[in-house]
């Protein structure tokens, strides 16, 4: 029985039930997705593909999903391919019989090694072509490449890539190379993958297919919401997919739940510009104001067998950074606590004065392989939520209940572990005083949260049930921006030897591109200028990546381009429509982007990946809310 349905000119890509999914079928789907920017069409292509795969083994589906995501396992495991451009150029050269130099020359012209690899392979005649690649075999090889370490790792990696490339046909080299580069760039966001999976799994039920269009749309939307919820609580496809195939989507929440050892995607907050905004939003609701501690988010897990793991906002394992917290944790649960997941902020702590220290102090702490005895910067953990206790996820309970359970089962330990300070009041003066106290105590401001109604924990969501009020909300645009550094301008005068300024970009998730948003030259101390120059020395690239959007005007063109590797937190006075910058292009104006005015460097955000930078729609939201506020201001005047 043939289940696969895709065909190409070169050969039929249909695959038989029980036989592995050909890599060509996945690449064909990539090509279809890349050919359009329409969300619905992308969803339809991917759903059709997953529908075919879903009838096969979980192994095939898991491999397809990870290749679509350009990952080699769950995000929180942090496995990376670690292949530099030079290795890839060598591999393409050796697989195609060309010189590395000619590959580089072509790359300078096309800007994309994937396309160069495809064209070079296309010109080659192979006498005895190896068997076609399968999705599972490609995924397996990528995992093997990721685990190669040691002295001859480079040649071993090249060998494996070479073998894959030689077996590639049609458009496969292009997508294989892009996967190896870590940038697929077909405009496929994880949310679309989740939605397509949910739709595909639901549409295998013939009764759903027979429903009227309206009813079917409702069923599909519900399925997608269920699936996304499950994934946000247990972000591990290896675990979810087998259950999805065996039990179906409706049963998933029963079997796949949040559990210690798998970091759930943290709930996020909405920025606000004034306490009046907060009071308007929470009118007639019970809410609580908590100190917004200024440190690093720490999701602390205690597993049943006693293991403690700490995860960052990014689901990165921070355990090696905080051996002191790991050592202190056993003191905090009361008797009877066997397992938990706590949502906390780790903050730098002055043991002598018994007070919180600013974030800048925490940022000087070593990130890896910290020995307890060498620790200079002490930390105190402030817990603001309890998400799991003794075998039971608590995310659907409301905050008031979760907080009660937290207080009931944990002890505060001086200078080590405390509950987030909070106040329940709807009086604006009282809240203002509480905010002032928070700021006085080296906090960033307040988090204002619903307590009872609409007060469940919403993993991964930037929810209006959590509002952040930062101390400097009255000036500026209400929140800072997290932007990616993509270029540098050679410094002159006092800044000779460093960069005098940098080009920053936001990230457009739909287009998978970095869009220039401003040049920045203020807010840096001399030490920071030196540090940045040192850091970016290792990240210089010959030319802008094909996924950088910027205008080539003499005033803007950087002297040096950087790989998108670091995120900076930046404060700005306001936003304006820009003739040159490309941030959020198409969101507010069809042809113009948005830029930041008077940007000022605040800090490096090590806890955010470049793809987690402020995204284009957030930039557009900031711009729109600024317009609304200024219009309201004019009326008031």
Q: Determine, following the binding rule CB under 6 A, whether residue 313 of this chain makes contact with ligand ATP.
A: yes
CB of 265 to ligand ATP, least distance (A): 11
Q: Report the residue from 199, 292, 398, 571 that binds ligand ATP according to the rule CB under 6 A.
A: 292
Which has the closest alpha carbon to 181: 91, 56, 281, 47? 91
Structural tokens at position 137: 């075999």
Q: Which stretch binds ligand ATP (CB under 6 A): 6-14, 125-133, 285-293, 559-567?
A: 285-293
292 catalytic, yes or no? yes
Query: What is the rounded CA–CA span in Å between residue 205 and residue 356?
Result: 56
- Cβ proximity to ligand ATP: between 139 and 311 the closer is 311
Q: Determine, following the binding rule CB under 6 A, whether residue 229 of this chain makes contact with ligand ATP.
A: no
Query: What is the rounded CA–CA span in Å between residue 158 and residue 76?
Result: 27
> Residues touching ligand ATP: how many (CB under 6 A)?
14
Q: Determine, following the binding rule CB under 6 A, whether residue 316 of this chain makes contact with ligand ATP.
A: no
Q: Report the residue from 60, 106, 112, 290 that binds ligand ATP according to the rule CB under 6 A.
A: 290
Q: Report the residue from 297, 402, 403, 495 that binds ligand ATP according to the rule CB under 6 A.
A: 297
CB of 605 to ligand ATP, least distance (A): 7
Q: Report the residue from 14, 146, 189, 268 that binds ligand ATP according to the rule CB under 6 A.
A: 268
Which segments of 471-579 are extended strands (E)?
481-490, 499-508, 513-520, 540-541, 548-549, 560-562, 567-571, 574-578
CB of 533 to ligand ATP, least distance (A): 25
Which has the closest alpha carbon to 28: 167, 182, 184, 170? 170
Q: Which helix (H) or strand (E) segment is 203 a member of?
A: helix 190-203
Q: Which helix (H) or strand (E) segment is 140 a member of?
A: helix 135-147
CB of 394 to ligand ATP, least distance (A): 16
Query: What is the rounded CA–CA span in Å between residue 34 and residue 496?
Result: 44
- Cβ proximity to ligand ATP: between 382 and 550 the closer is 382
Angle at 298 between CA 296 and CA 301, to 5 degrees: 170
Site string for ligand ATP, 374-413 (x = CB under 6 A): ----------x-----------------------------
Cβ distance 560 to 487 under 8 Å? yes
CB of 470 to ligand ATP, least distance (A): 7
Q: Determine, following the binding rule CB under 6 A, whether residue 345 of this chain makes contact with ligand ATP.
A: yes
Q: Which stretch binds ligand ATP (CB under 6 A): 1-9, 129-137, 289-297, 540-548?
A: 289-297
Cβ distance 505 to 584 under 8 Å? no
Structural tokens at position 567: 């995120």
Three-state SS at 407: helix
Q: Catalytic: which of 292, 470, 519, 592?
A: 292
Q: Determine, following the binding rule CB under 6 A, whether residue 362 of this chain makes contact with ligand ATP.
A: no
Q: Report the residue from 113, 318, 435, 447 that binds ligand ATP according to the rule CB under 6 A.
A: 447
What residue has token string 């806890």?
Answer: 607
Q: Which stretch binds ligand ATP (CB under 6 A): 46-54, 292-300, 327-335, 394-402?
A: 292-300
Cβ distance 262 to 351 under 8 Å? no
Q: Report the residue from 66, 293, 388, 489 that binds ligand ATP according to the rule CB under 6 A.
A: 293
Residues 6+ apart with CB under 8 A from 355: 349, 441, 442
Alpha carbon dihedral 156, 162, 164, 169, in 10-degree steps, equals: 180
Q: Determine, following the binding rule CB under 6 A, whether residue 468 of this chain makes contact with ligand ATP.
A: yes
Q: Determine, following the binding rule CB under 6 A, whether residue 346 of this chain makes contact with ligand ATP.
A: no
Q: Determine, following the binding rule CB under 6 A, whether residue 431 of this chain makes contact with ligand ATP.
A: no
Q: Which stretch binds ligand ATP (CB under 6 A): 18-26, 252-260, 287-295, 626-634?
A: 287-295
Residue 328, Cα to own-chain centre: how many angstroms?
30
What residue has token string 């030897």?
Answer: 497
Three-state SS at 45: helix
Cβ distance 627 to 577 under 8 Å? no
Site string for ligand ATP, 475-514 (x = CB under 6 A): -------x--------------------------------
Positions marked active-site: 292
Give contact residues for ligand ATP (rule: CB under 6 A).
268-269, 290-293, 297, 313, 345, 384, 420, 447, 468, 482
């Amino acid at each position: 029985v043939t289940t696969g349905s895709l065909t190409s000119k070169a050969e039929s890509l249909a695959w038989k039930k029980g036989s592995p999914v050909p890599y060509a079928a996945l690449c064909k789907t990539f090509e279809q997705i890349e050919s359009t920017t329409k969300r619905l069409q992308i969803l339809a292509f991917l759903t059709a593909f997953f529908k075919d795969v879903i009838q096969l083994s979980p192994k095939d589906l898991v491999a397809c999903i990870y290749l679509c995501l350009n990952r080699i396992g769950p995000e929180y495991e942090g496995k990376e391919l670690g292949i530099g451009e030079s290795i890839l150029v060598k591999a393409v050269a050796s697989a195609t019989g060309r010189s590395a130099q000619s590959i580089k020359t072509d790359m300078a012209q096309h800007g994309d090694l994937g396309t160069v690899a495809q064209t070079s392979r296309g010109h080659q005649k192979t006498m005895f072509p190896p068997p076609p690649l399968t999705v599972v075999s490609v995924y397996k090889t990528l995992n093997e490449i990721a685990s190669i370490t040691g002295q001859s790792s480079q040649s071993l990696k090249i060998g494996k890539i070479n073998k894959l490339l030689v077996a590639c046909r049609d458009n496969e080299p292009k997508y294989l190379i892009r996967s190896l580069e870590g940038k697929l760039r077909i405009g496929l966001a994880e949310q679309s993958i989740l939605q397509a999976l949910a739709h595909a799994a639901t549409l295998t039920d013939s009764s759903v297919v027979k429903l009227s269009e309206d009813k079917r749309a409702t069923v599909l939307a519900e399925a997608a919401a269920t699936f996304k919820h499950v994934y946000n609580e247990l972000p591990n496809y290896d675990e979810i997919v087998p259950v999805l195939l065996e039990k179906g989507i409706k049963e998933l929440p029963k079997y796949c739940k949040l559990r210690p050892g798998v970091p759930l995607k943290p709930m996020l907050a909405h920025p606000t510009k004034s306490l009046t905004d907060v009071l308007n939003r929470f009118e007639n609701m019970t809410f609580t104001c908590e100190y917004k501690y200024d440190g690093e988010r720490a999701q602390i897990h205690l597993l049943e067998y006693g293991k403690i793991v700490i995860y960052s906002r990014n689901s990165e394992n921070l355990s090696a950074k905080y051996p002191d917290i790991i050592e202190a944790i056993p003191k905090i649960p009361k008797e009877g606590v066997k397992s938990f997941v706590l949502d906390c902020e780790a903050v730098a702590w002055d043991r002598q004065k018994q007070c919180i220290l600013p974030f800048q102090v925490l940022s000087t702490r070593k990130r890896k392989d910290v020995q307890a005895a060498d620790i200079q910067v002490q930390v105190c953990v402030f817990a603001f939520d309890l998400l799991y206790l003794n075998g039971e996820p608590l995310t659907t309970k409301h905050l008031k209940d979760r907080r009660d359970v937290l207080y009931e089962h944990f002890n505060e330990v001086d200078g080590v572990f405390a509950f987030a300070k909070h106040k329940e009041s709807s009086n604006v003066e009282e809240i203002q005083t509480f905010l002032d106290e928070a700021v006085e105590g080296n906090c960033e401001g307040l988090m204002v949260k619903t307590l009872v109604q609409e007060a469940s924990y919403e993993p991964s969501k930037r929810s209006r049930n959590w509002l952040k009020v930062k101390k400097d909300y009255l000036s500026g645009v209400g929140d800072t921006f997290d932007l990616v550094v993509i270029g540098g301008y050679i410094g002159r005068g006092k800044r000779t030897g460093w960069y005098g300024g940098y080009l920053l970009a936001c990230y457009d998730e739909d287009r998978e591109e970095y869009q220039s948003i401003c040049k920045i030259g203020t807010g840096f101390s001399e030490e920071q200028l030196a540090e940045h120059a040192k850091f970016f020395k290792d990240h210089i690239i010959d030319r802008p990546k094909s996924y950088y959007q910027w205008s080539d005007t003499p005033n803007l063109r950087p002297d040096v381009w950087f790989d998108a590797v670091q995120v900076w937190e930046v404060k700005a006075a306001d936003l304006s429509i820009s003739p040159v910058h490309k941030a959020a292009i198409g969101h507010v104006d069809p042809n113009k982007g948005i830029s930041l005015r008077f940007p000022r460097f605040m800090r490096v955000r090590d806890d955010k990946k470049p793809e987690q930078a402020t995204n284009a729609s957030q930039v557009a939201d900031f711009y729109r809310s600024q317009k609304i506020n200024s219009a309201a201001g004019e009326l008031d005047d």
